[in-house]
């Protein structure tokens, strides 16, 4: 038997590497919708050249187009590697990528945070650690999904799970 219970638990559970990505079909569709609104603003602005406040639709179109492009082409990914005992948190846009790395020993707890807004709940699964480390591997709509993600992380990382409620 291994001296490290976390490695044993991760091997027994089948989790050696957990990868969480923040890119779903809904995100792409929402980005395309916002991008379409930005393009509509540009088109409307081009129909009325020389108007006194004609710059407003250009600015609004630019802002909505930028947000839409970032939503469509933005990437976020969190990886917990039980073999190498490391975590990697990265995000980027197109070919530009920003990455933070660290050791699993720097992590202290898993937090399942329920955020209630206007009667609907959203669950955020955080992994917190020393030196202000806060990783957000997953955001889900259902409590069961949040418990499942927290269970996967608990098996691989061997950390306690805390629950919070906000809103």
CATH of the domain at 152: 2.30.29
101 and 134 inside one domain: yes
The Cα 162–Cα 55 span in angstroms is 50
Identify the pLDDT of residue 14.
Answer: 54
**Pairing between β-strand 107-117 and β-strand 120-129 as defined by DSSP bridges:** antiparallel
How many other CB atoms are found less than 10 A from the CB of residue 70? 14
Tens of pLDDT, residue by residue over 20-39, are: 887 677 888 999 999 999 99
* Domain that includes residue 143, residue range: 5-22+77-166
Q: Say yes or no: 83 and 162 in one domain.
A: yes
Which strands make up the sheet holding 107-117, listed edge to edge? 134-140, 120-129, 107-117, 161-166
- Residue owning tokens 């806060």: 134
pLDDT tens digits for 111-143? 999 888 888 888 989 899 888 888 888 888 888
Total domains in the chain come to 2
């Amino acid at each position: 038997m291994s001296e490290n219970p976390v490695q044993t638990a991760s091997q027994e559970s089948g989790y050696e590497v957990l990868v969480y990505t923040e890119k779903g079909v809904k995100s792409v569709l929402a980005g395309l919708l916002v991008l379409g609104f930005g393009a509509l603003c540009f088109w409307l602005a081009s129909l009325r050249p020389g108007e006194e406040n004609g710059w407003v639709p250009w600015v609004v179109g630019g802002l909505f187009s930028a947000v839409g492009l970032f939503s469509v082409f933005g990437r976020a990914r969190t990886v917990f590697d039980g073999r190498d005992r490391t975590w990697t948190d990265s995000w980027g846009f197109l070919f530009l990528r920003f990455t933070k790395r660290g050791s699993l020993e720097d992590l202290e707890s898993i937090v399942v945070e329920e955020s209630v807004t206007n009667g609907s709940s959203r669950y955020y699964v955080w992994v917190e650690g020393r030196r202000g480390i806060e990783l957000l591997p997953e955001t889900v709509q259902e409590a069961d999904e949040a418990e499942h993600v927290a269970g996967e992380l608990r098996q691989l990382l061997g950390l306690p799970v805390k629950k919070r409620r906000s809103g």
